[in-house]
Amino acid sequence: MKVLVANLGSTSFKYRLFDMADERQLARGGVERIGSAESPCFVEIQGRRQELKAPVPDHAVAVRQCLAQLTDPQQGCLQSEKEVAAIGFKAVHGGRVSGVQRVTPDVLAAMEEMNLIAPAHNPPYIRAMRLLGEKLPEIPLVAAFETGFHNTIADRLRHYPVPHEWADRLHIKRWGFHGASHSYIAQRTSQLLGRYDLRIISCHLGGSNSLCAIRGQQSVATTMGMSPQTGLPHNNRVGDFDPFAIPLIMQSEGKSLHEVLDTLAEKSGLLGLSGISGDVRDLEEAAAQGNGRARLALDVFVAEIRRHLGGMLIELGGADAIVFTGGIGENGANIRAGVCADLQGLGIELDSNLNATKGSAERCLSTPASKTQIWVIPTNEELIVARQTKHVLENRFEG
């Protein structure tokens, strides 16, 4: 069985193709600037990269273009597009619909109900899924919602202290996101350490950020809440924020509610604090040159990670492993050092020399004396979605 895993933007389509017989990645590729006169399209198969530019008016044509490259007699890895058993989507928020689902009109309607909560994510996925369903009906579509991994979190950690009917009627709860990433870290860490009852704190740090407390490969707590804008500071999204500040901002700045929310979702986080960039690499360079706001942004980021890390250590009763993943988690030695600083009393001790080593390989960074192992593990969200898609298809065939 071969599964195409899609990552969509409003004008982009990126994918990875897996052979689920042995979970090998056969190819990766994508199309940028969909809808423009020339849309760059690339495919990479066994290290060979092929590129072309052609008008691609919509996501359905983008998929057709990618399938054409994958089935090219000279360069492709498929004999026919019929070998693609399904397209799996790393969907974000379905509210009343979670887990892994075949894409149906009801699933799309549930996603539309959450458009206000995930404005940057849901609308492009809905448009593309609907279009693909109409123009490529022969290929099953599967939505693997990021919220699904967190369905195991207890109600005491999912409910906000607001009128209870809001949770029932409007689905206002702490849903959590980055589910595929945290799920991969749970599975891979268990494999590496040879135990499946581990207490793990997964630190997904990149363009958007979240921590997840994991026990026995199940989510126990996470930092993101009702929307992907919450929790830790993100590159340009606010993270946790007091909603009672919003009327003051509206009145003092003369902004509408939409304008304030747009600022919180697009111009806040590390970018807003620093006024320079939401990229940690830029901020570290600026801070080294004496820029105080860049230093503040980095300090706030680390402080928030540590605050939530402490709560998760209490919830789990300690941790067997702390795992860093994502672009910052894998490459940000200074961030890792800041997060783990002065935690020896909690049995958490980072080896500074190991932490300074560069590379994308899986590696343990803790000292021999550390009771909690500290790891860098590159995530593989697409593989998790491919596994979930395969499971849905097999259950359908068995039924």
Residue 7 assigned as binding residue? yes
Annotated binding residue at 3?
no
- Per the annotation, does 380 bind a ligand? no
From the list 88, 67, 39, the residue with the least C-alpha distance to 381 is 88
* 3-state SS, residue 395: helix
DSSP tally for the chain: helices H, then strands E: 14, 14
The DSSP line for 237-264 is S--S--TTHHHHHHHHHT--HHHHHHHH
Pairing of strands 141-144, 100-102: antiparallel
Q: In what order do the strands lie in the sheet with 363-364?
A: 218-222, 209-215, 199-205, 321-325, 373-376, 363-364
Query: Which of 301, 249, 245, 292 lies closest to 270 in space, CA to CA?
Result: 301
Is 281 marked within a binding site?
yes
Task: Please tell me whether 255 is known to bind a ligand.
Answer: no
Residue 330 assigned ligand-binding role:
yes
Q: Pull the structure tokens for residue 203.
A: 């630190």
Known binding residue 115? Answer is no
Reference 107, options 399, 397, 392, 395; nearest CA is 392
Asked if residue 331 belongs to a known ligand binding site, the reply is: yes
Q: What secondary structure letter does DSSP report for 155?
A: G
Please report, in range form, the residues annotated as the binding site for Mg(2+): 7, 381
Please report, in range form, the residues annotated as the binding site: 7, 14, 279-281, 327-331, 381
Please report, in range form, the residues annotated as the binding site for ATP: 14, 279-281, 327-331
